[in-house]
Amino acid sequence: MLSYSRIVIIIGILLIMGNLLGQTSPTRDLILEIQVVGNQNIEVDLIKATLNVAVGTSLSEDRIANGIKNLSKLGVFNNIVVRRVTIPGGLRLVVEVEEFPIINSVSYEGNRRLRNSRLDEITTIRSGSYLAPFLLVENRNRI
Q: Rounded to an integer, what distance in angstroms lies between the CA atom of residue 47 and that of residue 73?
A: 12
> 55 burial class (0-12, 13-18, 19+ CB within 10 angstroms)?
middle
Q: Rounded to an integer, what distance in angstroms lies between the CA atom of residue 140 and that of residue 143?
A: 5
pTM of the model: 0.67
Which pLDDT tens digits describe the chain residue by residue (143 residues)? Answer: 555 555 546 665 655 655 444 444 555 789 999 999 999 999 999 999 999 999 999 999 999 999 999 999 999 999 999 999 999 999 999 999 999 998 888 888 887 888 888 888 888 888 888 877 777 788 778 87
Strand partners, 98: 79
Q: Rounded to an integer, what distance in angstroms lies between the CA atom of residue 45 and that of residue 77?
A: 15
Instruction: Read off φ and ψ for residue 87, nearest 5 degrees.
Output: -130, 165
Give pLDDT, residue 93.
96
Give pLDDT, residue 126.
85
Contact (CB, 8 A) for 77 and 71 = yes
Which SS3 state, helix, strand or coil, does residue 64 take? helix
